[in-house]
Amino acid sequence: MSRNHFSALLSGVALALTLSTLSAASVVIPYADPLIYYNGRWDSTPETWWTGSGFKLNVQNLSSLTLNLGPYTSDPVQLGVSVNYGNFTAYNATQGANVIPLTGLASGDNVIRINSVGWESNHMNLETIELNDGAELLPYEPSKLAFQFIGDSLSAGQYLPNGVDQAWPFLTAEYFKAEHNVQAQPGIALSEIDSYGNVNGMTYQFFRTEDTQFYYDPLHNYTTPWDFKRDYPAATHVVCMIGANDSGNNVTSSAFYQTYINFLAKIRLIYPVQPLFIILPWGWPSADGPPSPYYVGIYEQVVNYRTSFGDKNIYLVNATGWIDYSDVYPANLHPTVEGHEKVTGYLTSWLENWGLTAESSWATPA
């Protein structure tokens, strides 16, 4: 072979390698890209706190997606992944590169939703998002409806295989095609007490970026105020169900009542006119009798006080009878997957009867 032919061959190989490299190129999206729609609560790292926190993407010509996660990521962190508003499927991610399975992609635009579903070990530390060559990130338009849920383990999806993605707050928001944030933590009381490992109550923690796990985190054992302007859109409806752990810690009815009305006064500073739904909990189911209630009459008194104070947009949702022993795990009396679906059915019907209508479609089409 002549030197010229050999040189031409090398040039051809180099060109082929170059084209191969270009075809395998990717689109790298930094975490600060304004086209990433974040939901829930993230600190400046950025790292997720509170169950259900995550992000949403609207991507054209998508065929692959890799999450590059940083050192603050839980080992592992369980994520929920939804393609084009389909069901969320579980994926365990770790620090480093994570190739996300994308079942159900369509030609054209695709909406990807990813959240952290656990009630503990739920830190996703996002560094970059890597898309296939030719993919283009487009704006995500959020729904006009947005729920703010406040609660404890009965709202956080504790003991469910897919965490909060199978819990009634999440399912309710999906039903109405709404955005949502879930500030719920197992074991937390409303009162400012140490409760089952939670060093603060919701009356304090709700207003912080971090959930109560901060106390046990050697890398982030402090709290920062949450800027509610970061919730976009601002919540259009607020739902609160709490009190089980106050009762479990023998907080008196009078003390719980006072704490609740003080808490709602602070909530109204953030959400002055939004409909505020106070759920009277279903109680603790029993194998040989009706559920055991707690704070009998107190939830009604809280709502009546706010009404007498001039609050014309607060409502009591009586969940008595929504759950029985067949709907819970016998070992801990928390709702099963089917139990949460049952609660969702009752609550969505209640809200529809009240006057709330589900969006006809998601604001960002897929």
- pLDDT tens across 247-294, in order? 999 999 999 999 999 999 999 999 999 999 999 999 999 999 999 999
- Per DSSP, 214 falls in state G
* Interatomic CA distance for residues 340 and 201, integer angstroms: 24
The upper half-sphere exposure of residue 53, i.e. CA atoms within 13 Å in the direction of its Cβ, equals 27
- Helix, strand, coil shares of the chain, percent, nearest 5, are 30, 30, 45
- Per-residue pLDDT, 13: 33
> Where does CATH 3.40.50.1110 sit in the chain?
146-354
- Per-residue pLDDT, 24: 59
> Where does CATH 2.60.120.260 sit in the chain?
27-138
- Per-residue pLDDT, 1: 44
- Per-residue pLDDT, 18: 33
- Per-residue pLDDT, 25: 84
DSSP per position, 234-263 = PPSEEEEE--HHHHHTT--HHHHHHHHHHH
What order do you get walking across the sheet with 96-99 strand by strand?
Answer: 26-30, 126-132, 65-69, 96-99
* Interatomic CA distance for residues 84 and 40, integer angstroms: 20
| CA distances for 195 relative to 186, 192, 294, angstroms | 10, 9, 17
- Per DSSP, 175 falls in state H
Q: In CATH, which of 3.30.365.10, 3.40.50.1110, 3.40.1350.10, 3.40.30.10 is domain 146-354? A: 3.40.50.1110
Helix (H, G, I), strand (E, B) or coil at 197: coil
The upper half-sphere exposure of residue 73, i.e. CA atoms within 13 Å in the direction of its Cβ, equals 23
* Nearby residues of 19 by Cβ (< 8 Å), 6 or more positions away: none
Q: What does the buried/exposed string (b/e) look like for 274-297 if buried means 16 or more CB atoms within 10 Å of the residue's CB?
A: bbbbbbbbbbbbeeeeebeebbee
pLDDT < 70: residue spans in the chain: 1-24
Residue with tokens 């970059």: 128
* Interatomic CA distance for residues 357 and 280, integer angstroms: 23
The answer to whether residues 235 and 181 touch, using CB atoms and an 8 Å cutoff, is yes
- Per-residue pLDDT, 3: 37
Instruction: State the average pLDDT for the chain.
Output: 94
- Model pTM score: 0.93
- Per-residue pLDDT, 2: 41
CATH number belonging to domain 27-138: 2.60.120.260
* Interatomic CA distance for residues 230 and 238, integer angstroms: 16
